[in-house]
Amino acid sequence: MEVGSDLDLEQSRQTLQYASYDATLRVPRCAVLGSDCDSSYLLEGRGTVGPELYAPNTVSGSCADGNSGAFHVSESLDGLKVATTNGTAFAPGKTVRVEARVYASSTNYRYDVLDLFYAANASDPTWVRIGTYSLYFAGSQTLTASYVLPSGASMQAIRGRFRLGGTAVPCGVGTTDDHDDLVFAVSGSDTTAPTVSLTSPAAGASLPTPVTLNASATDNVGVARVEFYDGATLLGADTTSPYSFSWANPSLGSHTVTAKAVDTASNLASSVPVTFTVAPDTTPPSTAITGLSDGARVATSITLFASAADDVGVTRVEFYVDSALIATDASSPYYVTWNPTGISPGTHVLTTRAYDSAGNVGVSAPVAVQYALDTVLPVITQVAPAEGSVLSGSAHLEANATDDVGMQSVSFLVNGSFLTGYLGNTTTQPWWGTWRTFEWDNGPYQLTATARDTSGNVSPPSAPINVVVANTGRRYARYDSVLKVPKCTGASALCDSGVLLEGRGTLSAGPERNSPNSLSISPSCMDGEEGNYRAQGSIEALRVTSLAGGVFMPGSQVRLDVPVWASSNYTLYLYTSNGVSPAVWTLMATFTTSGSGVQVFSTTYTLGASPVQAVRAVYRSYSTGASTCAGGSLNDNDDLVFEVGQADTTAPGVWMLTPAQGAQVEGSVNLSATAADVVGVNRVEFYDGATLVGLDAVAPYAVTWDASAAGSGAHTLTARAYDAAGNLGTSTAVNVTVP
């Protein structure tokens, strides 16, 4: 399935046929036989949304569109196009490309899907599904697919159904479903036989076993299959080009073979016969160890690679160390992992042996390697981000790492804990990763990295880099081990549970992380454990969004979106709580699912005054009424906690840059520091013990200290950073000596 422009296909044709509305069929129709057919503007919009001309544009008006939403805000199927891939007229057996122009909702595009169908008779359609396709982004886009035109009536049809949730059926009842048909002319029956010829083996050839038969075949419409015969005996068939058959055990002696091609209309053609002789195979394969030279040093597990070739075919390659078999590989590329642990240090000889199906053996030239234990630790230096950086969004992490034998991987750590679940290249040079800071609380952090070499030696952590995370806007929740629910820390404009609530309970195919994700831990609030994931209902996520776009504040209007996996007879209850200690739940909205698949339900409400608030979704099967906790065997209960903006209470981060720890200084000494804050640094003060040396209000922060006047002996230097709200952050002390 592709998403993109149809410009390349347009340019390959001189003309494009646009459909006209057919009042009898009640759909757009291309009445003249051609190579393509486009609905043009006739399908733009959906039902009364747009509106769509001549809605619903389904054969005989058989399937109505949903009328919820607004034009190019919610879902619509705006156009259909069908064209042969080779530019010739529509005919049975030809491959055609279908293009569907859709508009996907910015809120729900992840759950929007397109179903495509075809019918061999447009007047009395029986719909056959081509496929179901997901969306890649919001807004206008083109989805494409292909299928082979069937034998049928002179007028055939395609149908697109663009839906939010539900199942892949030709006609649905979703409130935003859009169904559209396009009818086009197709030519009559095919009576032209294909052409076929054997391309190998050559006539008169003498071959060992197995023997591969190859053929080429063409047809004016399409080749259905090519059959291979030894005399009158069918050996096998191939349905895709290039057409071939591997004859494993032909008898020794003379054979006469033919190929027969059958097209999509069952027309048959035979090739010219080819006679050849099957003779015994006595030629051994050739083999060699690759990527490793004589004298190479080996300190840990390595991958041994080998090449192998044979006039008939290699069946396996064996790997030997000092004449002892260590492993066998039966498929190319040939390689094994050799762990030399347990053998004596020194010289060891590697060889390979290749076998063919006749039992012939080829032996490689030996390669002598030197094995020695590796005890040298790798060396690592983290180079990005810079000291004192203020990070947001996806932050780039980078490190330099070297080793005397070979590097295996690099790990990045945040405050001493390994960073997991991020994208990056941590197994090959250059070493880098991506830290999804929006999943972390705002504030100061310390970054380090460690390196592991191919022998398993691990370096000590790199020198720490101090940074500050300061995200605004979208926030993904993290699991709060105290509240036992997902929580967004720090006021933002959106709090999203991400993947933390997907699934339900401990279902084997879709267990919910940290189930039950409820502030009220009691039997009545546990998730149901029966059913199957995405067969029965489950809550997939909770998202709270500021309607005005600013950070959450008391009195702000927000929208709660709840994607669920819909199943029949489910009811969704949505609650809010102005505070979490304890939570006091207020029912906001009630929804009932229809059909199955992903559906999204939304409601808006006003935030209370509490600095920590929560929402709850209760999803009940065969509900008997609203309940803040539903403990049924198929029910799901999930909470999301988030913070609401109050006064700024986050202290700045500050770090001394000069002088160095333990330095001996005298005379005029430059004291410098870096500082960062989630809002902004107001000033940085420098102290000798409790004595203020000076302050700087503009980065880079620095003052001059008269060390001689301060007196001989030990001195403790610190930097203090203040933000506009008066929050104070103090650096780690730097101890120096004045002679």
Give the per-residue pLDDT at 508.
62
More confident residue, 88 or 232: 232
597: confidence class by pLDDT, cuts 50, 70, 90: confident
More confident residue, 347 or 515: 347
Q: Please give the average per-residue pLDDT across 23-43, as a whole number.
A: 91
Q: Please give the average per-residue pLDDT across 316-343, as a whole number.
A: 94
Res. 13: pLDDT tops 60: no
Give the per-residue pLDDT at 363.
97
Give the per-residue pLDDT at 723.
85
DSSP string, 383-445: EES-TT-EE-SEEEEEEEEE-SS-EEEEEEEETTEE--S--EE-SSSSEEEEEEGGGS-SEEE
623: confidence class by pLDDT, cuts 50, 70, 90: low
Res. 611: pLDDT tops 80: yes
Answer yes or no: are the C-beta atoms of 460 and 381 closer than 8 Å.
no
More confident residue, 195 or 135: 195
CATH architecture designation of domain 474-643: Distorted Sandwich (2.70)
Q: What are phi and psi of 41, to 5 degrees?
A: -90, 0
HEC string of 5-50 equals: CCHHHHHCCCCCCECEEECCCCEEEECCCCCEEECCCCCCCECCEC
- In whole angstroms, what is the distance from residue 103 CA to residue 603 CA? 23
Assigned CATH for 195-278:
2.60.40.10
Give the per-residue pLDDT at 190.
65
Burial label for 55, CB within 10 Å (0-12, 13-18, 19+), is buried
CATH architecture designation of domain 2-185: Sandwich (2.60)
Answer yes or no: are the C-beta atoms of 687 and 693 closer than 8 Å.
yes
Q: For residue range 35-57, what is the model confidence (pLDDT) as tens digits?
A: 999 999 999 999 998 889 999 99
Answer yes or no: are the C-beta atoms of 559 and 107 closer than 8 Å.
no
Q: Please give the average per-residue pLDDT across 163-184, as a whole number.
A: 93
- In whole angstroms, what is the distance from residue 584 CA to residue 608 CA? 12
Q: Please give the average per-residue pLDDT across 104-116, as a whole number.
A: 89
639 C-beta neighbours (distance < 10 Å), count: 28
Fold of 653-738: Immunoglobulin-like (2.60.40)
Q: Which range has the worst mean pLDDT, 167-176, 441-450, 466-475, 509-518?
A: 466-475
Give the per-residue pLDDT at 8.
34
DSSP 60: G
Give the per-residue pLDDT at 189.
59
Res. 198: pLDDT tops 80: yes
* CA quadruple 271, 277, 281, 283: dihedral sign: negative
Give the per-residue pLDDT at 421.
60
Token pair for residue 461?
Answer: 């952590």
- In whole angstroms, what is the distance from residue 106 CA to residue 499 CA? 19
CATH class (in words) of the domain with range 379-469 = mainly beta
Burial label for 354, CB within 10 Å (0-12, 13-18, 19+), is buried
User: pLDDT exceeding 90 applies to what percent of the chain?
Assistant: 54
Fold of 286-371: Immunoglobulin-like (2.60.40)
Closest to 467 in 3D by CA, of 428, 429, 437, 496: 437
Token pair for residue 267?
Answer: 């027309």
Give the per-residue pLDDT at 7.
31
Collapsing DSSP to helix, strand or coil, 223 comes out as strand
Answer yes or no: are the C-beta atoms of 705 and 669 closer than 8 Å.
yes
Q: What residues contact 590, with CB distance under 8 A and at least 6 apart? A: 571, 572, 573, 574, 626
Largest CA distance in the chain: 110
Res. 314: pLDDT tops 50: yes
14: confidence class by pLDDT, cuts 50, 70, 90: very low
Across the chain, mean pLDDT equals 88
Token pair for residue 159?
Answer: 């149908």
Answer yes or no: are the C-beta atoms of 132 and 112 closer than 8 Å.
no
Give the per-residue pLDDT at 718.
97
Q: Please give the average per-residue pLDDT across 277-298, as a whole number.
A: 92
Q: What are phi and psi of 138, to 5 degrees?
A: -85, 165
Give the per-residue pLDDT at 509.
60
HEC string of 707-726 equals: HHHHCCEEEEEEEEEEECCC
199: confidence class by pLDDT, cuts 50, 70, 90: very high
Give the per-residue pLDDT at 123.
86
Collapsing DSSP to helix, strand or coil, 596 comes out as coil
Res. 432: pLDDT tops 70: yes
Quick check: do 2-185 and 474-643 share a fold?
no
Res. 501: pLDDT tops 70: yes
- In whole angstroms, what is the distance from residue 574 CA to residue 615 CA? 7
Q: For residue range 66-81, what is the model confidence (pLDDT) as tens digits?
A: 999 899 999 999 999 9
Answer yes or no: are the C-beta atoms of 314 and 332 closer than 8 Å.
yes
Q: Spell out the domain ranges in the chain.
A: 2-185, 195-278, 286-371, 379-469, 474-643, 653-738
Q: Which of 7-11, 107-111, 122-126, 150-154 has the largest mean confidence?
A: 122-126
